[in-house]
Amino acid sequence: MRVIGVDPGLRKMGWGVIETSGSRIRHVANGVCESRGSDLATRLLSLFEQLSEIVAAQAPEVAAVEHTFVNKDAAGTLKLGQARAIALLVPARAGLAVAEYAPNAVKKAVVGVGHAAKPQVEHMVRLQLPGAKLAGPDATDALAIALCHAFHARAGGKLEAALAAAAAGAAR
């Protein structure tokens, strides 16, 4: 399974792609889309175009996007929500299923603690993806989001298999 994780941001939108096969996880690519333009519409369009190119080039099978947290500044939260809409829209437009995760869920899945600091997240991403050249904190967060989805998908598959085995055993 090829997963793209997206860390929404209006100035910088991090992205990271991993590939899973059984219990193996491999880093594919990561980077940051930086918005260009002076007005909001142009900046959003630039993020849309960049992320669309990345999704087309990397060919992920599923996407994972981080939920927006609420800032103290309502205007800032609204703008971040608009960038998050781009992060949801681009993979959905490409026909991908899009999973969403709260920041604390991502940290708990990757670090083991829901309130982990950024350096802890980076350390665990580096441990999980040895040799990956991280393109900055936003890309690191995006890889953590992709890892979170991979861990959840793996656990979900085990649960489904166990339920199917139990149902088959009960039918005998």
List 19, 138, 141, 160, catalytic entry: 138
Q: Which of 7, 61, 100, 122 is catalytic?
A: 7
Could you confirm whether 138 is annotated as catalytic?
yes
Task: Indicate if 141 belongs to the active site.
Answer: no
Q: Which of 141, 149, 128 is nearest to 30 (CA)?
A: 141
Q: Map tokens 């899945």 to a residue.
A: 109
Q: 99 exposed, middle or buried (CB, 10 Å; 0-12, 13-18, 19+)?
A: middle
Q: Which residue is catalytic, options 66, 73, 122, 160?
A: 66
- 98's tokens: 């899009």
Instruction: Name the nearest CA neighbour of 5 among 166, 151, 171.
Output: 151
The residues assigned a catalytic role are 7, 66, 138
